[in-house]
Amino acid sequence: MDELLSAQHRAVGVVRTLPGNMGGYVLVNRDVGRLVSVTFWGSVDERQAAETEFAAAPVRGEVAEYDIAMQESLG
């Protein structure tokens, strides 16, 4: 879990620099070994650009795992 949290801290540093990022949460349950990260974006286009960035991140060695578990647009 500590390794996963360290990777998450690095990812947060990248996310904060992306246009449209409005913050987020990292939820950790050490008892069952799960971590969920939730981010908020100003627009669908900005979120999609971030997805493209993170899809390339493992190739650059910046993020070990990345996946989109759920998407929902309210607008």
Is 71 contained in some domain?
Answer: no
Structure tokens at 47: 């979120």
Note the pLDDT tens digit of each residue in 17-56: 889 999 888 888 889 888 888 888 898 888 888 888 777 6
Is 14 contained in some domain?
Answer: yes
Number of domains, the chain: 1
Strands (E), the chain: 21-29, 34-41
Asked if residue 51 lies in contact with residue 67, where contact means CB atoms within 8 angstroms, the answer is no
Instruction: Please report the pLDDT score of residue 51 as a whole number.
Output: 83
Q: What is the largest CA-CA distance in the chain?
A: 36
Q: With the CA atoms of 51, 40, 71 and 62 taken in that order, what torsion angle do they form, in degrees rounded to the nearest 10?
A: 30
CA 38 to CA 26: how far, in whole Å?
6
Residue 40 structural domain: 2-60
Q: Which of 4-13, 26-35, 40-49, 65-74 has the lowest mean pLDDT?
A: 65-74
CA 2 to CA 21: how far, in whole Å?
25
